[in-house]
């Protein structure tokens, strides 16, 4: 318990009266931290902290790498910047050794500052000093974790760029003929035949690496640490990450298997405007990044560049590509859906070379001054159009229907109408693609039987819906004709449930195997519903583990 003498030893509070010190002692938290324990995490709510004993480390994550910014010793405080700016903590504070820290909540601090103006002045001066330090830090030239040399239209280079972008690894990309290459690639430049070539921050050079090899060298987890888990989540989109957060927080040994990068399709969204708690919207990769940090901090394992080859439902064994076999007590299917492909002659040879399925945000900078086209009239297409409008000369939405109102949310339609460089072409379809090494033009038919016109095209992005690719699942897991996993009452109605109890809401035809998010048969396909179902799946997994029988 805090005493007057404890608080008086903090220089900031040394001039306070005994009455004020006594009040602080009764209203402030007394944190006893073990080495490695956090007083506050990055993004934590504002409050004032004072170090009584021990040593606190100031850390912040830059581009996935934890960096120490400084230390706080007995008698020092932290939290002045969040209190001055009414913002969350820009960094985290972790005990470097057993420490004791006093915490004054924000409202109590403001009351104290009003009664003792000298404290407010000292805090203001310290905040200005610390903000100045942050400004100096922001002026430092950041070093990319990867320098990549490769041709823009090389499929292997495109795949590596997308992989790095999706996993939020900073990348300095140049073409082999870039004039700045000698300055940014020390030593002998890589032969063009060896490209794409990568240089890591530690000097390691790789030529045409497999993504799993690259992931391992970048510190991403690609191998399970245990042989058995309480729950194994297949898919790292919003539903899978939500399940990971709740599973790990409730003490379950939790693993997520993701074949590319956490975030799923939502992770490619430039702006999600209607997600609860983000009044100004949130990008898909920011939402995924926050969820990923949260899941890892709580103890969940996130495997990337791994896919599931098959599931043995009787033995509860999951076989990964590469031969690893993981035993798990419950399985959560959160594989999402895959963009539907256009069956147009010539399209396949331009995939990754000007034609992209979904929003390839890493290609946005390459569209400056160009005309780009998007096929589709749903929310994903609308969000992508708004994003590319900040880069391209002209963005044209092409859809077969006669109205956007039938498929797109009102708020997106209004935002699109406010953009002078966004056009909507109704009752139209793309019927051809042209180019040599990459896409340069497309053919558009404006209505049935109409003539076809050719347009120069700097990029074509396709959003024509998605399908559940679940053909790899065992036959014991029931699906509908389109591949969506049946759960709950739908399993019973289809005659695929044989247990004495009723299936849980998100339980598949195999007890202990659950489905959530877009892969589950449901009329609702939203990020918010996927997150909710991910958390619900863990609740049902707990029930199953409690009884562990039908």
The upper half-sphere exposure of residue 299, i.e. CA atoms within 13 Å in the direction of its Cβ, equals 13
pLDDT band at 201 (very low <50, low <70, confident <90, very high): confident
Report the sign of the C-alpha dihedral through residues 345, 351, 354, 358, in that order.
positive
**Residue 98 has which token pair?**
């057993």
**Residue 541 has which token pair?**
């997994």
d(CA 312, CA 319): 8
Report the sign of the C-alpha dihedral through residues 214, 220, 225, 229, in that order.
negative
Segment among 48-52, 229-233, 384-388 with least mean pLDDT:
384-388
Listed in sequence order, the residues at least 6 apart from 109 whose beta carbon sits closer than 8 Å to its beta carbon are 47, 48, 83
Place of tokens 């903590």: 89
Q: Say yes or no to pLDDT of 490 above 60.
A: yes
Mean of per-residue pLDDT scores for the chain: 89
Residues 431, 437, 441, 447: what is their CA dihedral angle, to the nearest 10 degrees?
10
Cis peptide before 546 (omega within 30 of 0): no
Query: CA 324, 328, 333 angle in degrees (round to 5)?
Result: 90
The CA R_g of the chain, rounded to the nearest whole Å, is 27
The upper half-sphere exposure of residue 149, i.e. CA atoms within 13 Å in the direction of its Cβ, equals 26
N residues, the chain: 550
Higher pLDDT, 138 or 479: 479
For a pLDDT cut of 90, what percent of the chain falls above it? 54
What digits encode the pLDDT tens for the residues 397-423?
999 988 999 889 898 999 999 999 999
d(CA 533, CA 512): 15
Q: Please give the average per-residue pLDDT across 61-79, as a whole number.
A: 85
Q: What is the DSSP letter of 319?
A: E
- Provide the pairing of β-strand 301-303 with 254-257: parallel
Secondary structure (3-state) at 377: coil
Quickly count: other Cβ atoms within 10 Å of residue 414's Cβ.
9
**308: enclosing H helix or E strand:** strand 308-312
Q: Please give the average per-residue pLDDT across 80-102, as a whole number.
A: 90
pLDDT for res 397: 96
pLDDT for res 141: 57
**Residue 503's Cα: distance from chain center in Å?**
31
**422: enclosing H helix or E strand:** strand 422-425
pLDDT for res 343: 85
Listed in sequence order, the residues at least 6 apart from 41 whose beta carbon sits closer than 8 Å to its beta carbon are 89, 92, 297
What digits encode the pLDDT tens for the residues 140-194?
556 788 999 999 889 899 889 989 988 888 888 999 988 888 888 888 888 888 8
DSSP 25-79: HHHSEEEEE-TT-EEE-TTPPPEEEEEEES-EEEEEEETTEEEEEEEE-TT-EE-
Query: CA 501, 482, 230 angle in degrees (round to 5)?
Result: 45
Contact 98, 54 (CB under 8 A): yes
Contact 396, 373 (CB under 8 A): yes
Nearest to 233 by CA among 533, 480, 486: 533
Segment among 89-103, 242-256, 261-275 with least mean pLDDT:
261-275
Q: Say yes or no to pLDDT of 123 above 90.
A: no
Domains, the chain, ordered by start: 4-139 (2.60.120.10), 146-217 (3.40.30.10), 228-337+468-547 (3.50.50.60), 348-465 (3.50.50.60)
pLDDT for res 413: 93
Place of tokens 């929310």: 379
Contact 329, 229 (CB under 8 A): yes
d(CA 134, CA 513): 48
Report the sign of the C-alpha dihedral through residues 168, 371, 368, 440, in that order.
positive
Quickly count: other Cβ atoms within 10 Å of residue 534's Cβ.
29
Q: What is the DSSP letter of 224?
A: -
CA distance readout (Å), 428 to 202, 295, 396, 421 = 51, 44, 11, 19
d(CA 92, CA 211): 31
**Residue 327 has which token pair?**
């035993």
């Amino acid at each position: 318990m805090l005493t007057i003498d404890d608080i008086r030893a903090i220089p900031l509070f040394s001039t306070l009266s005994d009455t004020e010190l006594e009040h602080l002692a009764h209203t402030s938290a007394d944190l006893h931290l073990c080495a490695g324990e956090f007083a506050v995490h990055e993004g934590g709510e504002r409050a004032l902290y004072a170090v009584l004993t021990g040593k606190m480390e100031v850390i912040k994550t830059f581009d996935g790498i934890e960096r120490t910014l400084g230390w706080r010793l007995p008698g020092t405080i932290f939290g002045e910047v969040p209190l001055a700016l009414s913002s969350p903590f820009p960094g985290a504070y972790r005990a470097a050794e057993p420490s004791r820290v006093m915490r004054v909540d924000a409202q109590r601090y403001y009351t104290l500052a009003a009664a003792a103006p000298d404290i407010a002045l000292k805090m203001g001066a310290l905040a200005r000093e610390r903000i100045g330090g942050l400004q100096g830090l922001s002026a430092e030239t950041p070093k990319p974790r990867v320098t990549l040399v490769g041709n823009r239209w090389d499929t292997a280079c495109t795949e590596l760029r997308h992989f790095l972008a999706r996993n939020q690894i900073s990348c300095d990309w140049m073409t082999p003929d870039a004039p700045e290459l000698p300055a940014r690639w020390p030593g002998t430049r890589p032969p063009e035949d060896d490209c794409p070539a990568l240089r890591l921050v530690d000097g390691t050079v790789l030529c045409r690496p497999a993504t799993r090899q690259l992931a391992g060298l970048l510190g991403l987890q690609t191998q399970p640490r245990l042989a058995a888990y309480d729950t194994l989540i297949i898919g790292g989109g919003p539903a899978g990450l939500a399940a990971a957060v709740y599973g790990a927080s409730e003490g379950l040994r939790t693993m997520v298997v993701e074949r590319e990068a956490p975030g799923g399709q939502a992770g490619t969204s430039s702006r999600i405007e209607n997600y609860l708690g983000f009044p100004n919207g949130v990008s898909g990769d920011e939402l995924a990044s926050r969820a990923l940090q949260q899941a890892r901090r709580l103890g969940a394992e996130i495997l990337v560049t791994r896919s599931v080859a098959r599931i043995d439902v009787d033995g509860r064994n999951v076989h990964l590509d590469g031969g690893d076999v993981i035993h798990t007590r419950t399985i959560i299917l959160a594989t999402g859906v895959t963009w539907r492909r256009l069956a147009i002659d010539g399209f396949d040879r331009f995939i990754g070379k000007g034609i992209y399925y979904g929003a390839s945000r890493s290609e946005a900078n390459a569209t400056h001054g160009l005309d780009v086209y998007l096929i589709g009239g749903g929310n994903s297409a609308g969000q992508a159009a708004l994003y590319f409008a900040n880069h391209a000369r002209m963005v044209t939405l092409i859809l077969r229907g006669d109205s956007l109102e039938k498929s797109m949310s009102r708020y997106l339609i209004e935002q699109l109408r406010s953009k002078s460089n966004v056009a909507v072409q109704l009752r139209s379809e793309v019927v051809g693609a042209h180019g040599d090494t990459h896409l340069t033009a497309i053919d558009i038919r404006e209505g049935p039987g109409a003539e076809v016109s050719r347009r120069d095209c700097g990029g074509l992005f396709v959003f024509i819906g998605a399908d559940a690719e679940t053909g790899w699942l065992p036959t014991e897991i029931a699906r509908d004709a389109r591949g969506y996993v049946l759960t709950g009452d739908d399993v019973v109605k289809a005659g695929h449930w044989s247990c004495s109890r009723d299936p849980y809401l998100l339980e598949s035809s195999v007890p202990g195997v659950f489905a959530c998010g877009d892969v589950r048969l449901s009329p609702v396909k939203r990020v918010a519903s996927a997150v909710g179902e991910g958390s619900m799946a863990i609740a049902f997994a707990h029930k199953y583990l409690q009884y562990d029988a039908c």
